[in-house]
Chains A and B, each alone.
Chain A
């Protein structure tokens, strides 16, 4: 027999030994590093938006299974075990590290490759941005996490201890500063969806403003740079989210989706509308979203307080929220009307549910298969972040034009002065349901008060909320490190309170 009789390699896929050689292969590896952004967007719905005062969920009594741990996050009774449930902190934690590992593999192998310096720069610029993005997601939700910075090739490389939050922010800032000169500035619109200098500067500003020792001057500088790039606000708020305008002039960074059979679709709106017997009334397409579980409707439902909080005349309210009206049997809505929340008066004898409208762009061809991108950084958000930064630096006067620029587009009159509160409120409505609210509340130091207030309201509305719910303390500002990780890696310590 021939000597190579025993040398068999997979015929239907490539192996790591033969990959990571040429430009095309590194390009493919880089493309794959973006896919974990989708997990961040998806999990943010339940872990960021629904944990904030913007939304809650519609109780479905049949559904008391694994989804109760998703509810637990909104009720602040999540624990270290919740981390093993579906769509949990564990998932977010693993997803971020999966993205980081893809980047680390690229960055570890790139220097040894034969690519030209120009090619290497293009790839490492985007890769470093993504690593910073995933670490920023981790440090915000879990505190100081282990800093994995090279490809893990054996067991021992996977057992690093936690770094401090400072160290993680330090790495984020360092990665972004290395990436910045390598990244292009967005020049032509629509953009492709790849990371740019604008995305990196915006993330850099967020990092400077969120780290334990905040550096407003550097954040301000980064954001001022962003205002000098080619971004501008679209005329109409609702147009920003239209899939026909993906990656538009206002978009700094967004998560890409595409409907069809390629597995690239989004499905947010199917989860946001109420559980309904006739989804075609709202979506124009029949499909079941009433079975229970995360693949159902009734999640991320705007609270009445959120609806009430919009100023009169704010064009963003009807662009962001709708009301579905109808009859409810077995906790499932048979929709008879979809109405604007502006001045909405409930119809006697009918039930109604608010739902997020931002991601509703029919027609759809297949259930749970939509074309909507998820916005991550938008120019209006960068302007408001700049305003927040300036207010924090006591430059309230300089902040005002940025604040009023965003208000004007929303059809609201200019304010006379910028304050921490009115900047924060503006950001709440401008970036509503884009997974920013929870971390914004933490950054501005208002999370504990706001969430305890929400708890009082919710408990007065819903008798099924246990007494233990909404006990929001400083420990609750980050999630538990997933239980599995603590058990496997005895170098890890759990966050206090979990």
Chain B
């Protein structure tokens, strides 16, 4: 044993590092550096010292003699070593010139969620991820830099291990994912040319590393429940009976109604003290969520291999719903010789899912149920269930408890995702790589609705049972062949050239057999149906792509990247099959310049700029063609075949293109304690793919066409800060994005999109405004007196006591003293002023804690359920506030809720400013608390950690609904911000364990 002294400094700015752990390998001997970064330790000659420090790369040094050991630790965050996944390869973070954000899943472990998307919420600047629905197995919706298209969607392209596969993120277990990279600007995504307009998400699965040999098991079990906050605040039994009683009294008073108050409502006090049926809660339960993951990996110089097996089951918080998934993945890289590397990744997954159709979004099962009369019970005293209800003045309805619990909708899907490549070194610096990728999916769905659950609003069971059986399958394959040449000239000029050719094809087939007229409910398969009708469909698309990219840098200080893709797609007409997508980006690592090197606080500074063009071809596979529909008729008592065109073809249909600029800055300060990234982008989307509205006098309502222009711009900020680095460590990551957009041009006559109907058509996209603005009347209360009614503008069906609106305009653009369709106007912006996320992580000794929060500010939400919960015709249960409605001049109510007079109530529940709410929220998405158990020497565990985690823990918002992330169309700009009774989002509280053997 000799005594070894030394000092530890930062490798770049040579500042002394305090609190670096120094330990002797294989022993429990260890110490820390002092306030001057110095240490002293006893070690044998030949012993290995390990230096560990948060945020830095671990270093090992062999003890030679008693000389001073001076260590320079390299910071992880700025290191040239940190590798970022980019399109068709990797790049050091140092050399990146585009706007790219990457997150490693080790930063988001232990969240009890089945979808990687949930883990990414609030983590990435410029990436809005919403949980629109709590449906088990549903996908999250993504929107990068406020992307919007009219018809071609705004979902980013998902590329899994280099493969733009079709199965989606939901097939992957988050446990098998190593990192997720988001390519935000056109320059970084342009090699995916025709599909990159909405951004690209690169998902990389875990590979074994050289020298690694591990066996890991992790698991969690959680309980999901729906918080009470935001549930519809409807009347209870007594309140509803009172409301109905008064409804009939008013009908008698004003409408000569002579039928009297129905017996069940004559004495509301009989329901006093009983809350009645809470129809929402009847359909809910606490549900289990569980996940088991086993991973083993081994890495040698020649063969790196990893196997990951995962089982996830999520029971839904609505009755009779679940989603379960088994995935098995193996990734292997074999170094066959000094010039040849082979790889094979294979994932097989099987999922099964039961969710009653029509639960999510719309006046469907959930909403229909909570609109029921609360004085009735879903269950009889003897334990049996009533089949149907028919309350006075209300629609006949089934028992939604039976509807939800009895309908079968089983989906089973088997999926395969496989990639393989061979990479050969031809000469020094020149490599050829060929990859083959295959993704297939076989889905089988069986539905059965028994006679006792058949029906809905207005149609009560029993009615004959019905069922269906459908299958679908697709296969897509991709072959990519690329040459890559890397060369350094004169030690300073670094070149990296990529050229390639790729081919992808997709084929889809489906069949569907619908069975009706079942004699009974005994056999739930369509064999038993008297009538069976079947249909099939087949779809294909194909791509041919040529790609090229040149990276050049001078001393890794002046950076240049030029990329080009030429894409051909089967989705377009002969004249326009091909599109060109060029991009260029530059970077300057200013901190490598001497005049900045001397500014001590700055550890890294880079300026970036990019320009590029990308496209969107996300339209129907044959949209450029008008095809023929079957359109039969009867002649001479015989069905005679007929055919008619289904649209107007457009042989000039072509790519929707986006041209974008990005200016960015990466700055690291104070020894990398603070890292800051800023980006400004400006993007113009042209030739939007859209079925533009044409006059119906053409025989059709739309022609798929390239029209119009949207502009997007915004600012993104990301700050990572190591607030405390001592025994108590505290890191904060904060990001905030300001995204703006404006409609510059639309189709012929700039006819606006959407907002034509008076309800459930809330968004209007019009020139000069942001995309998807809410459009409706401005509600100004109630005509409280005859004098008000006589002197203020009103519409044809209005009278004293009905809802009042602002006279915005008339046919000539000026207020005309009448309320009519010209008075609809823009009444709210569903686009957020900004979105943000903040993650704080703490560790102290063996304890760790992380809190992830995210939110939006300034966006509006439209409550589409108000069309029903504000319906004053006595046909539905209504909001408690309806008790304050106008009943007479003597009893005029609160001035908000109008009277129940027949024929006048529609105005109030049509889409108006009354249904538009602030959508600002802050959600505590996740809180995870972990404890790493101290292990005795010789334990069979390498490490053992237990944790507790709460997902969707809290939400702070003034929005009265349940989920401010709700959206019946996800984050699709054209129909954003509409909450229409989605499947509720549960809060999940879970316990879990991670074990390394």
Residues of A that sit less than 8 Å from B by CB: 1, 5-17, 19, 25, 28-35, 61-64, 68, 77, 79-81, 84, 90, 93-94, 97-98, 100-102, 104-105, 145-146, 148, 152-160, 190, 192-194, 246, 256-258, 261-264, 288, 290-293, 296, 330-332, 366, 463-468, 482-485, 487-490, 492, 494
User: Which residues of chain A have C-beta atoms less than 8 A from B544's C-beta?
Assistant: 1, 5-6
- Chain B: CB-nearest residue to A485: B695
Distance in Å: Cβ of B276 to nearest Cβ of chain A: 20
Tell me the nearest residue of chain B to A258, going by C-beta.
Answer: B634
Quick check: is B890 within 8 A (CB to CB) of the other chain?
no
Which of B257, B395, B903 lies in contact with A466, CB distance below 8 A? B903
Once the chains bind, are A101 and B625 in contact (CB under 8 Å)?
A: no
Decide if A64 touches B627 in the complex (CB within 8 Å).
no
A160 to B634, CA, bound (A): 33
B459 within 8 A of A: yes
Q: At the interface, yes or no: B747 with Cβ under 8 Å from chain A?
A: yes
CB–CB B694/A464 < 8 A? no
A270 to chain B, nearest CB (A): 13
5 interchain residue pairs of minimum CB distance = A101-B699, A463-B256, A291-B458, A31-B642, A158-B698
Complexed CA–CA distance, A264 and B906 (Å) = 35
Query: CA–CA, A465 to B902, complex, Å?
Result: 8
**A101, B393: Cβ atoms closer than 8 Å:** no
Checking B533, B628, B635 against A193 with a beta-carbon cut-off of 8 angstroms, the contacting residue is B635
Whether A64 pairs with B902 at a CB distance below 8 angstroms is: yes
Which residue of the partner chain, among B570, B644, B703, B799, contacts A29 with CB atoms under 8 Å? B644
Cβ contact within 8 Å between B697 and A32? no
Contact between chains at A152 and B698 (CB < 8 Å)? yes
**Contact assessment for B639 and A77 in the assembled complex, using a CB-CB cutoff below 8 Å:** no
B381-428 interface with A by 8 A CB criterion? 390-396
Q: Is there contact, CB below 8 Å, between B633 and A101?
A: no
- Given the complex of chains A and B, what is the CA–CA distance between A381 and B517 in angstroms? 41
Chain A residues within 8 Å of B650, by CB: 154
Say yes or no: A28 contacts B643, CB within 8 Å: yes
B756 touches which one: A148, A157, A465, A483 (CB < 8 A)?
A: A483
| A463-B256, A484-B756 known; A15 vs B625 contact (CB < 8 Å) | yes
Chain A residues touching B, majority SS: loop
> Which residues from B are CB-within-8-Å of A158?
648, 694-695, 697-698, 700, 703
Beyond A256-B633, A291-B395, A488-B749, whether A14 also contacts B797 by CB under 8 A is: no
Q: Which of A15, A19, A257 has the most CB of B within 10 A?
A: A15
Q: Is the CB of A97 within 8 A of B698?
A: yes
A-B contact pairs, 29 of them (CB 8 A): A8-B540, A8-B542, A8-B622, A12-B536, A14-B628, A15-B626, A29-B643, A31-B632, A31-B641, A61-B874, A62-B393, A62-B875, A64-B905, A79-B796, A81-B821, A104-B699, A152-B699, A158-B694, A158-B700, A159-B749, A258-B637, A264-B639, A291-B396, A291-B459, A366-B517, A463-B254, A485-B695, A488-B751, A492-B695
* B14 close to chain A: CB less than 8 A: no
Q: Is the CB of A148 within 8 A of B873?
A: no
- In the complex, residue of chain A having the shortest beta-carbon distance to the beta carbon of B752: A487
Decide: A34 near B642, CB < 8 A? Known: A10-B627, A16-B628, A158-B694.
yes
- In angstroms, Cα B537 to Cα A19, docked, is 20
Across-interface contacts of A9 in B (CB, < 8 A) = 622, 625
Number of A-B contacts (CB under 8 A): 273
Q: Quick one: which of B395, B627, B631, B752 contacts A31, CB cutoff 8 A?
A: B631
Known: A152-B700, A464-B257. 4 other contacts (CB 8 A): A81-B758, A102-B645, A194-B635, A330-B393
Cross-chain contact of A485 among B517, B643, B696, B752 (Cβ < 8 A): B696
B257 touches A463 (CB 8 A): yes
In the bound complex, residues from chain B placing their C-beta under 8 Å from that of A483 are: 756, 821
CA distance A13 to B629 in the complex (A): 8
Is B117's beta carbon under 8 Å from chain A? no
Residues on B with C-beta less than 8 A from A101 are: 645, 698-700
User: What are the residues of chain B within 8 A of A146 when measuring CB–CB?
Assistant: 695, 697
> Digit string of B944-965 for contact with A (CB within 8 Å is 1, else 0)?
0000000000000000000000
- Asked whether A292 lies within 8 Å of B648 as measured between CB atoms, the reply is no
B270 at the interface (CB under 8 A from A): no
Interface size class of B (residues with CB under 8 A): 35 or more
How far is it, in angstroms, between the C-alpha of A293 and the C-alpha of B255 when the chains are bound?
A: 22
Tell me the smallest distance from the CB of B512 to a CB of chain A, in Å.
12
Which B residue sits closest to A7, measured CB to CB? B570
What is the CB-to-nearest-CB distance from B13 to chain A, in angstroms, rounded to a whole number?
A: 54
B649 within 8 A of A: yes
Considering the complex, which residues of chain B in the window 37-56 have a beta carbon less than 8 Å from any beta carbon of chain A? none
Q: Are B749 and A98 in contact (CB under 8 A)?
A: no
Distance from A166 Cβ to chain B, minimum over Cβ atoms (Å): 18
In the bound complex, do residue A8 and residue B749 qualify as a contact, i.e. CB atoms below 8 Å apart?
no
A193 touches B701 (CB 8 A): no
CA gap between A256 and B633 in the complex, in Å: 7
* Chain B residues within 8 Å of A, Cβ to Cβ: 251, 254-257, 390-396, 455, 457-460, 463, 503, 505, 517, 531, 533, 536-544, 568-570, 574, 577, 621-622, 625-629, 631-637, 639-645, 648-650, 692-701, 703, 705, 747-749, 751-752, 756-758, 796-797, 799, 811, 820-821, 871, 873-875, 902-906
- B-chain residues with CB within 8 Å of residue A468 when the two chains form the complex: 796-797
Residue of B nearest to A28 (CB): B643
Distance between B513 CB and nearest chain A CB, rounded to angstroms? 13
Q: Roughly how many angstroms separate A97 CA and B569 CA in the complex, as a whole number?
A: 34
Residue of A nearest to B533 (CB): A261
- List of A residues within 8 angstroms of B639 by Cβ: 258, 262, 264
> Chain B nearest CB: distance from A127 CB in Å?
13
**Which A residues are in CB contact (< 8 Å) with B649?**
15-17, 153
| Most chain A CB neighbours (cut-off 10 Å) among B536, B537, B648 | B648
Which residue of the partner chain, among A12, A156, A157, contacts B538 with CB atoms under 8 Å? A12
Contacts of A482 in B (CB 8 A): 696
Pick the contact of B542 from A6, A157, A487 — CB < 8 Å? A6
Chain B residues with CB under 8 Å of A33's CB are 642, 644
Distance in angstroms between the alpha carbons of A62 and B539 in the assembled complex: 44
**Is B796 a contact of A77 with CB atoms below 8 Å?**
yes
B179: shortest Cβ distance to chain A, in Å? Answer: 33
Q: Which residues of B contact A157 (CB under 8 A)?
A: 698
CA distance A68 to B701 in the complex (A): 25
Please measure, in the bound complex, the distance between the C-alpha atom of A16 and the C-alpha atom of B643, giving whole angstroms: 11
Residues of B close to A256: CB separation below 8 A:
633-635
**With a CB–CB cut-off of 8 A, which chain A residues contact B251?**
464
Least Cβ–Cβ distance between B724 and chain A, in angstroms: 58
A464: B residues at CB distance < 8 A: 251, 255, 257, 902-903
- A485 / chain B contacts, CB cutoff of 8 Å: 695-697
Question: CB-CB < 8 A to B698: which residues of A?
Answer: 97, 101, 148, 152, 157-158
Tell me which of B455, B531, B696 contacts A97 (CB under 8 A): B696
Cβ B797 vs Cβ A77 within 8 A = yes
Cβ of B528 to closest chain A Cβ, rounded Å: 17
Residues of B within 8 A of A293 (CB): 458
**B636 near A192: Cβ-Cβ < 8 Å:** yes
Asked if A155 and B904 sit within 8 Å, CB to CB, the answer is no
* B542/A5 in contact, CB under 8 A: yes
Chain B contacts of A492 at CB under 8 A?
Answer: 695
Q: Which residues of B contact A490 (CB under 8 A)?
A: 749
Q: A9-B622, A145-B697 are in contact. Are A102 and B644 (CB under 8 A)?
A: yes
Alpha-carbon distance A77/B907, docked complex (angstroms): 14
Q: A31 CA to B629 CA in the complex, in Å?
A: 12
Nearest-Cβ distance from residue A96 to partner chain B, whole angstroms: 9
Q: Of residues B255, B626, B694, B811, which shows the largest number of chain A Cβ atoms within 10 Å of its Cβ?
A: B694
